[in-house]
Structure 1
């Protein structure tokens, strides 16, 4: 951890020589290069608990060279820290106001796969802030990230935009993150293949993360669940009677707030079990 402590050259929490509005909005124009390269030392968490000021936390880790979406997940329960500035490999990738709950940021295009990457977090701390806990990196399959058909508007339910037979050939095709930017009512459609092994039992779930304010989920035209950002449910059972070899997932999203979180849609197994035959005789 690197800590800027209060002394004669510092305001409470902010170096006196820095333009604070620039620090928040364009930190790379304000922070000197040596701020990232010099003066690092290890501190225990109790040494910074209750202190006020600007703190920089640094992590270095090697990421695997695999074709996955890479998401940086900040810890939950750190609302007392105010905002967090994120730097990946010496580049500022975002400034995030922290609220209760984990926040995810897509860093796929900011990291170098197969090599060591540097992550630096600049935080504004208050004396009452809870203890900082380590962030984590999650790797997601990208099978349901790209290739979404998208439209917007209120006519979807009346015109059956969730039905497999609906013709969406004139809909725009984009990635999930881009699809959820800036719109209020968004319809998403995507097909996926389901080819279970005959000797295995593996019920499937649909997992939604950070899918805006709320949404309704359809599988092959059947309503299977409702998602809300406040939770608690984010996993939805995909009933076997509704599944086919080729399936249509339709999601209508209502988005009423700006979010820095990284949305994701995953199809995952609850478990794997091998089929067996049991004979009982009397």
Structure 2
């Protein structure tokens, strides 16, 4: 019962209301309220300020939340450890994928995976790479396959699978489309459309261009690279995309001595027990690992 009360608490925090938590857990709202009241009584602290239909964490609630997440993760670890005693590969696979990796790198992997392990039930969420890392850190997902941050996020282990070279693109009618090789001043004269400034991909782009002295202030941002490709294609601004996303509406321009490259791969928690299903996926991904270029 205490575990279920803690789960109710964390779900209310994640979903923002008792009603949304009840829907997520397939319970009634009064049941959620009773579980939380019982938990608060056991802890001796109010966890929420209840204001109208909304809820807000108290100071005690903020202090308890990371411990509640850790408790749920430990319980899940125990279940996985017992499940792993069975040599069979089956059961749930709690996986987070970034949108780009999910669309462009994982389809063939997942097709082969579910054919080889039909007893596995994938539970996949598509989120930004930053949110995917948080979900693994919190124990909500076993694995995430995403754009890897640089440096690796504290408390997590990364396995780089693919190099993802990136290029500067403009629409085919853009003033720079016929320029070929350009310099930083040429690029700085025009607006950019890029990933959000808090994203891993933006940090990689800003670092590479910053080494050439270019400080960028994007006109528009989007986590979805397909959206950036469209915005650049219609002439709203230049962008930086994986070179593999070349499109007839775009022209690639060269900026000498600027190398932009992301690393794509898996993120896992070193202290969490992985299910047999997750280990099997890691093994398949490892087989795809691109060899490092010789020094």
Task: Tell me the TM-score normalised to structure 1 length.
Answer: 0.31
Which structure ranks higher in relative contact order (CA pairs < 8 Å, sequence separation ≥ 6)? Answer: 2
Higher helix share: 2
Higher strand share: 1
Task: Tell me the TM-score normalised to structure 2 length.
Answer: 0.30
